[in-house]
Structure 1
Amino acid sequence: MDLPTLIERNVAFAPDKPAIRFEGTVLSYDAFNRRIELAARALKSELGVEKGDRVAILSLNRPDYLVLLYACARLGAILVPLNWRLAVTEQLFILSDAGAKVLVLEHAFEAILSVLAERLLSTAIVGLDFAPGRGSGWDELLEGGRGDGRNAHPGLSCPVLIVYTSGTTGRPKGAVLRQEALLWNGVMSQHMHGLTSADHVLTVLPMFHVGGLNIQTTPALHHGATITMHPRFTPDATFAAFERDRPTLTALVPTMIQALIDHPRWSTADLSSLKAISTGSTMVPQQLIAAVAARGISALQVYGSTETCPIAIYTKLGGDPAGEGSTGLPGLCCEAAIINDVGDGLPAGTPGEIAVRGPNVFCQYWGNGQATREALRDGWYRTGDIGHCDGDGYFWVHDRKPNLIISGGENIYPAEVERVLLEHPDVAECAVVGRPDPSWGEVPVAYVIRRSEAQIDQHALTAHAQSHLARFKVPHEIIFTDDLPRTALGKVEHFILKAIQAKSRPQVNNS
């Protein structure tokens, strides 16, 4: 058995059921399965893709993204999704590091073809919706495929994805996920969402990220549900889909939810088809959860990472309200624990590092044995996140371990300070990082984006923080800015701000 078997089973049960809707076209489960077969044949016969070979894709969301994923699984090959927000040099590093045999390139990124072709001399380039000049077009390739489209002995134990992390500590690392990781991740998604074949998922998160690919999208296909897919997120298109396509589920990161809440249509749009919005990727402000709930929609939190496929800890649709405000309970098919630096479990209520173990967890960092050994110990993945588990087993995430500020021997979690700042009505977004200090070791500094037309100054915001936080947690400086460095999913890149502060001169305490 392999992942494409799940698609084949759904064809047997409901061949004409819509699998994917995209820009006015509908791909039934039967048509989706036949296109997977064509793609697998073409990759094998025309491009010589063998078991273990890497096939990269640089594309916005589109049905053939998923076709390529399952075609790779059918061959025992490995898909390497490329983040289209990266610089070309960063994409070239990933392609080189992964040793991609094939690159499938969407026409939207045709402008970088000359650079790629010059540097990727041994990589076959296939154009989606265009002829790249060097190599063939995707549809042309599929038409020429022949043979059975299978390699020997692919199965659930075969790697199927190499997804590169954001590289907060240097070069990005490629987390290798086996087919079984996606299978068990899908089981947990079904448990989390009450997912059935009657559901309709709206996919707007980019599928180069495991969140867009695996929180709801691949689980929906495994359970015979329908997906409506957008090339990328825009508030207007999302509202139109809510009212026209009537999805029951969608996954959005907090910045997307905020964009919807700030939109004029938020209060009047018909959202009645939605039974839940899932969110995560970063700390989720409680006011977003409350705003979604006020529209009669369950807001589900999911915690995980690229390395966990990503579902690891979550709140469940219709779950026990006793854990309200937490990130949830360990998933149905994995374990989670709070550990100290030597790996020992910590008692309830004690902050420590979150660790995850289960069949959904990655098996290695591609070509990086040292990083693999540091992250995976006795089957436990050390996430680098700090949190605690309460007496009822609910997990609470405090912050990323690298973000921790130690000031005068006291631990300061930036997320706690950010939460307080965000409670001020004039603050739209913020990020808190540590600045080197000769007296305290580090002191907190806040970067703040004001809401439109807000006039709040540093003194007023500092006073707000002082009324809610211990003095040592209050930012020593508040820097107002128009933007913050972010990942493709809107997660603030604290390490960039921290590097800026490391180069700055210590400031006088003006809090």
Structure 2
Amino acid sequence: MQEPIKLETLNDLDLSKDFNIGLACTRPAIPGFDMNSTALIVDHGDESNELHQAYSYQQLDKASNQCAALLSELGLIKGDRVMLWLPNVIEFPIAFYGTVKLGGIAVPSSILLSGDEIDYLAKDSGAKVLITTAALAEKLHLDTLEESELAHVLIIDELAETASTSSKIKFQSFANLLASSSDDEIAVNTCYNDPAYLVYTSGTTGYPKGVLHAHRALLGRLPAAYHWFDYQSDKTDRILHSGKFNWTYVLGTAMMDPMLLGKTVVVYNGDATAETWPKLIAKHQCTIFIGVPTIYRQIIQKTEFSAKDVPTLRHCMCAGEHLSDEMLGLWQDRFNQDIYEAIGMSECSYYLSHHPARPIRPGSAGCPQTGHKIHLLDENLEPVKDGEEGMLCIDEQDLGLFIEYWQLPDTTQATRKGGYFLTGDYAKRDEEGYVWFLGRRDDIINSFGFRISPHEIERVLKTHPDVADCVALEEEIGPDKNLVVASVIRHESSTLDETSLLAFANEHLAQYKVPKKIYFTQLFPRTANGKVLRKQMKADLKN
């Protein structure tokens, strides 16, 4: 068991010392901690024969040790990448913690990704192992993956006899390998600054870019435990999250963060409706609920549930998109609860948030969490005054800050200047210290909690033989509601219609990236240098 880490001692850490996320989260460094306590509950819904799975910390520690051993037996060493293309299942934390215990780098990947997209991530990350389901494995393009470093595909469920037609990539049963592997701890020393996991986020080149995090990122997230969560030290909290493990938001708040402190987390794996979440809160007696504002909106608009139906619930949190003042008020009226909002990014998780210790200021992003060094700076990297617009910048020594953009040294360097990480997000601070988020000065689309690069969508749509040019945009359809849309110029004489192009997009893009509308046009507004005027196009859509 590793030494306990407290918020007040974060600045005094010797970063050259040994530390491992896998050990810290499967063996919480809490005096007298009971390893038989429940670490994780995965609820599979009423239609499943196995309504839910529960794993204790003891079981999770043992299984992740076995995972580390099986990866070692496959020839993996410290620094090797393992892709996790999995839904919300027990195997995800087992594989994640097992990979980092070995000193490897876990690469969580969304189950919404298409085969084309997962092929790209496999090649770019240089992953040697992919852990996934039989259904998802069917999407793989084995002919193109032959050119990657991928050597093993481990299937967590039914393994078809004809699973692989590849001469290079070997398909095996994850369960069988796990059962035959030792649960002894593998002694691979990792320190705070060693890489632990690689997450992909929207890029500006048409391809996702990898964000590499160190083991210290877990401790960089610790301020959220005190300034966003509201854990009860004398009680066993149960945290329900509505998202998927692969999302950085969930990977932290529904797995690593609570488990570091010995809490119980609950996730759902199944078809969900607005009623799913209140029912799960009641069923598992959850005390904390975390979701995106869209989930809160659906519960209010599509159900009759109220505070009396969820008597154990005492703390609600959200991130991923802006929470409207109206929705906060409706939730307060119905559930007698506030919703505590936070803002963060893949490169540094959550660093601004509301918390019960201070009144909520509707519309603001809350305050910088104690433990993070957050600055609002002008173009000369000088502090701005209260009420003035500045860029949110994070001290380069922040424990939660990522190591680098994967294999993109120039991109990494461009975001670091004068000892700061430049987030690209702009905001104002009032005289009470609350930060009012203004947004990004780039073209990233924010739709229902997903941040999407328009260039990724455009790159795919432009491969259609009838598309001459296209621009992906967000279209506002209501307060804090944005749809992904695309404006398209067809080749001359083309009869391409919206239905055909959307079908093409559905085949080649993750579902959340697929435009909901296609607008056909003959030209785009451009600057004298030929640059598309995206702001004007968005204004035209609004009008």
Give the alignment's TM-score, normalised by structure 2.
0.73
Report 1:326-365 matches (<5 A).
Answer: 326-357=364-395, 358-365=398-405
How far off its partner does 1:266 sit?
3.6
**Equivalent position amino acid for 2:340 in 1:** L
How far off its partner does 1:258 sit?
1.6
Q: Which moved more, 1:365-374 or 1:64-73?
A: 64-73
Report 1:332-481 matches (<5 A).
Answer: 332-357=370-395, 358-403=398-443, 447-449=475-477
Corresponding residue to 1:287 among 303, 326, 333: 326
Secondary structure at the aligned position of 2:393 is classed as strand
Q: Which moved more, 1:86-95 or 1:138-147?
A: 138-147
Name the CA shift for 1:147/1:212 in 2 (closer, same or farther; >3 Å).
closer
The residue aligned with 1:82 is: 109
Where is the helix percentage greater, Structure 1 or Structure 2? 1
The residue aligned with 2:493 is: none
How far off its partner does 1:19 sit?
0.9
**Equivalent position amino acid for 1:109 in 2:** L
Q: Does the 8 Å CA contact 1:253/1:489 hold for their aligned counterparts?
A: no
The residue aligned with 2:340 is: 300
Corresponding residue to 1:101 among 107, 112, 128: 128
The reply on whether 1:8 has 2:27 as its aligned counterpart is yes
**Equivalent position amino acid for 1:44 in 2:** S
The reply on whether 1:139 has 2:166 as its aligned counterpart is no
Q: Which moved more, 1:13-22 or 1:362-371?
A: 13-22
| CA deviation map 1:151-190 (0-9, x unaligned) | 5321322211110002255321111111111223034224
Name the CA shift for 1:105/1:322 in 2 (closer, same or farther; >3 Å).
closer
Q: Which moved more, 1:74-83 or 1:394-403?
A: 394-403
Q: Does the 8 Å CA contact 2:375/2:394 hold for their aligned counterparts?
A: yes
> How many angstroms apart in 1 are the aligned matches of 2:97 and 2:278?
30
> How many angstroms apart in 2 are the aligned matches of 1:189 and 1:156?
19
The residue aligned with 1:454 is: none
Corresponding residue to 2:191 among 155, 164, 181: 155
> How many angstroms apart in 1 are the aligned matches of 2:183 and 2:360?
56
Name the CA shift for 1:53/1:121 in 2 (closer, same or farther; >3 Å).
closer
The residue aligned with 1:259 is: 298
The residue aligned with 2:450 is: none
Structure 2 runs not aligned, ≥5 long: 1-18, 44-51, 165-169, 448-453, 455-472, 480-501, 527-535
Q: Does the 8 Å CA contact 1:190/1:219 hold for their aligned counterparts?
A: no
> How many angstroms apart in 1 are the aligned matches of 2:261 and 2:520?
45
Aligned residues: 440
The residue aligned with 1:61 is: 88
**Equivalent position amino acid for 2:66 in 1:** L
Q: Does the 8 Å CA contact 2:388/2:428 hold for their aligned counterparts?
A: yes
> How many angstroms apart in 2 are the aligned matches of 1:149 and 1:189?
28
Give the alignment's TM-score, normalised by structure 1.
0.77
How far off its partner does 1:67 sit?
1.4
C-alpha RMSD of the superposition: 3.6
Name the CA shift for 1:110/1:91 in 2 (closer, same or farther; >3 Å).
closer
Name the CA shift for 1:498/1:173 in 2 (closer, same or farther; >3 Å).
farther
**Equivalent position amino acid for 1:20 in 2:** L
> How many angstroms apart in 2 are the aligned matches of 1:275 and 1:354?
31
Secondary structure at the aligned position of 1:112 is classed as coil
| Percent of residue pairs identical | 21
How far off its partner does 1:447 sit?
3.2
How far off its partner does 1:58 sit?
0.6
The reply on whether 1:167 has 2:186 as its aligned counterpart is no
The reply on whether 1:270 has 2:270 as its aligned counterpart is no
The residue aligned with 2:357 is: 319
Name the CA shift for 1:54/1:352 in 2 (closer, same or farther; >3 Å).
same
Q: Does the 8 Å CA contact 1:203/1:217 hold for their aligned counterparts?
A: no
The reply on whether 1:182 has 2:218 as its aligned counterpart is yes
Q: Does the 8 Å CA contact 2:287/2:312 hold for their aligned counterparts?
A: yes
Secondary structure at the aligned position of 2:329 is classed as helix
Name the CA shift for 1:187/1:44 in 2 (closer, same or farther; >3 Å).
farther
Name the CA shift for 1:500/1:120 in 2 (closer, same or farther; >3 Å).
farther
Secondary structure at the aligned position of 2:439 is classed as strand
Name the CA shift for 1:263/1:148 in 2 (closer, same or farther; >3 Å).
same
Corresponding residue to 1:229 among 253, 267, 281: 267
Q: Does the 8 Å CA contact 2:116/2:141 hold for their aligned counterparts?
A: no
The reply on whether 1:71 has 2:98 as its aligned counterpart is yes
- Which has the bigger relative contact order, CA under 8 A and spacing at least 6? 2
**Equivalent position amino acid for 2:181 in 1:** G
> How many angstroms apart in 2 are the aligned matches of 1:280 and 1:65?
22
**Equivalent position amino acid for 1:184 in 2:** G
The reply on whether 1:503 has 2:518 as its aligned counterpart is no
| CA deviation map 1:139-160 (0-9, x unaligned) | 1111232485535321322211
**Equivalent position amino acid for 1:51 in 2:** K
Q: Does the 8 Å CA contact 2:228/2:354 hold for their aligned counterparts?
A: yes
Q: Does the 8 Å CA contact 2:212/2:402 hold for their aligned counterparts?
A: yes
Corresponding residue to 2:156 among 125, 128, 141: 128
> How many angstroms apart in 2 are the aligned matches of 1:501 and 1:278?
45
Q: Does the 8 Å CA contact 2:126/2:148 hold for their aligned counterparts?
A: no
Q: Does the 8 Å CA contact 1:354/1:386 hold for their aligned counterparts?
A: yes
> How many angstroms apart in 2 are the aligned matches of 1:448 and 1:101?
42
Name the CA shift for 1:281/1:219 in 2 (closer, same or farther; >3 Å).
same
> How many angstroms apart in 2 are the aligned matches of 1:394 and 1:488?
36
**Equivalent position amino acid for 2:253 in 1:** I
Name the CA shift for 1:61/1:311 in 2 (closer, same or farther; >3 Å).
same
The reply on whether 1:219 has 2:257 as its aligned counterpart is yes
Q: Does the 8 Å CA contact 1:76/1:151 hold for their aligned counterparts?
A: no
Q: Does the 8 Å CA contact 2:113/2:511 hold for their aligned counterparts?
A: no
**Equivalent position amino acid for 1:58 in 2:** W
Q: Which moved more, 1:366-375 or 1:485-494?
A: 485-494
| CA deviation map 1:214-265 (0-9, x unaligned) | 1243211111111111126542322220221121112211222222222123
> How many angstroms apart in 2 are the aligned matches of 1:114 and 1:448?
36
Secondary structure at the aligned position of 1:393 is classed as coil
Structure 1 runs not aligned, ≥5 long: 405-413, 419-432, 434-444, 452-482
Q: Which moved more, 1:498-507 or 1:230-239?
A: 498-507
Secondary structure at the aligned position of 2:155 is classed as strand
